[in-house]
Amino acid sequence: MQDFQTIKKQADEFRKAKKYTDALPLYKQLWEEYREDCNEWEGWGYAFCLKQQKDYRQSLEICREVYKLKPDFENIKGVYAWCIYYTEIAVEKVNDEPKFFKAGEGILKLSKQEDQYSPYTQTVFKVLQYLNDKAIYPTDKILEWTDKLNYEILDNTPFSFTDNEGKIRELAPKKEQYFMWRTKALLEKGLFGECIKLSQKALDTFENFHYGNEVWFARRISLSYKGLGQPETALEQLKSLLKRKNEWFIHKEIAEIYFEQGNNEQALKFAIDSALSFGDADKKLNLYKLLSEILIKNNEQEAAKKHIELMYQIRKANEWKIDNDLQNLINKFQIDTTKTVNLRDFERELKQLWEKLKFSNQTQLIGVVKSILPNGKAGFIEAENKKSYYFQLRNFKGKPELAKEGQKVSFFLEEGFDAKKNQKTVNAVNVKLVR
């Protein structure tokens, strides 16, 4: 018995002095040679030192033994939870999904969110990140796991780091990430009232947003109003959002509402603006489908056919499944599925069509480049009627260096919005050289 006490005393002294390498063989000796004399404390000491030495799997085995010995022993719960986290949750790839979720549930049973030293919050966020990355969005699972968090006590401090180029980067705090995951799932589930409430809470909570999240929260509020059968409110909010953030998907959502209301003229206008706005073509399949539907309604069958073929060619290039709706359109319009096209050239052809449709009801104006601003990104054109119009170099159809002062150009007009002055503007777009 004296040997046991001597070894135990020395092991505990080493552990308290953080000399885990020295303490570990002593705890191992106690646990294996004096097992009948050991209680939960010796087991915890052994498991704790193994964890500190990053031998998580062996520590996990000892934790299981101690937990069976005394399930209400608080000290072992923390070590047990962290060992599960490191062996089953903080992994590069999830190979066994049921086991992954079981491990997550086990950690939450052993720990509390209120304990800042527990892996509770990190575990929930790891699970949510895994769910969010799945090809088919698991709405119910996202709601289930966000339900496990009390957002009021989540950390609101962004994480800053220096990247390989020496630039300081900042990641969204956990509270902001929670709001993003939860509001997206609420919208997908059709829980529109809750989505509006939580999205507005997010907008009221944060002063600084990351990754343009303020746009996503505002957008989810707008789409929730649409879901609640209030399209006019949704339209008003989406148009207001468009003034702050000229994103292609906002144009698309406005177009969808107009199309549902039977306003094909406005639907086509916003759908074309969406198609011409920056964004990857393979992300715009639903937009191209909407454009084909509008064009069919407008009895512009050939133009509609081109959009159906574009959808098919994008899916073919990415080896994506052809859904029933698209297959029916392919059959109806007799799309040649044996033909392979150069997607970039095809998109360029469609872009010309969109521009033609966009300006079909406008008169082309002629003018002269009056000035280029010092930043080289914008300037002014003086029309033949002596009125000056602002234009951005990205709307110049040619090499930017050719947009020189005194150069004769043709252009169309488009409504814009000056965020700094908070007022509507009329800008020159689709600017081309006149030779």
Q: pLDDT per residue over 307-359, tens digit each?
A: 999 999 999 999 999 999 999 999 999 999 998 899 999 999 999 999 999 99
- Residue found by looking up tokens 């003018």 in the block: 367
What DSSP character marks residue 341? -
Specify the CATH architecture of the domain 246-360. Answer: Alpha Horseshoe (1.25)
- Who has greater pLDDT, 305 or 401? 305
Q: Where are the domains of the chain?
A: 2-133, 246-360, 365-433
User: What's the one-letter identity of residue 243?
Assistant: K
Q: Return the CATH number of the domain spanning residue range 365-433.
A: 2.40.50.140
Bridge partners (DSSP) of residue 411 are 365
Q: Indicate the residue type of 273.
A: D
Superfamily for domain range 2-133: Tetratricopeptide repeat domain (1.25.40.10)
Q: What is the model's pTM?
A: 0.85
Q: Would you state the structure tokens that stand for residue 277, as one six-digit string?
A: 């706005």
Q: Do domains 2-133 and 246-360 have the same CATH topology?
A: yes
Structure tokens at 271: 């759908």
Helix-then-strand count for the chain, H and E: 18, 7
Token look-up 């079981």 returns 102
Task: Return the closest-CA partner of residue 308 out of 283, 280, 337.
Answer: 337
Amino acid present at 268: L
Residue 165: pLDDT over 90: no
* pLDDT tens digits, 372-425: 999 888 999 999 989 999 999 988 988 888 888 999 999 999 888 776 777 788
DSSP state letters, 378-397: EEEEEETTS-EEEEEGGGBS
Span 241-268, pLDDT tens digits: 998 888 999 999 999 999 999 999 999 9
The answer to whether residue 37 scores a pLDDT higher than 80 is yes
CA distance 288 to 70: 62
Residue 228 pLDDT: 98
Q: Is-contact 412 405, C-beta < 8 A?
A: no
Residue 1 pLDDT level (bands cut at 50, 70, 90)? low
| C-alpha 185 chain-centroid distance | 12
C-beta atoms surrounding 362 within 10 Å? 11
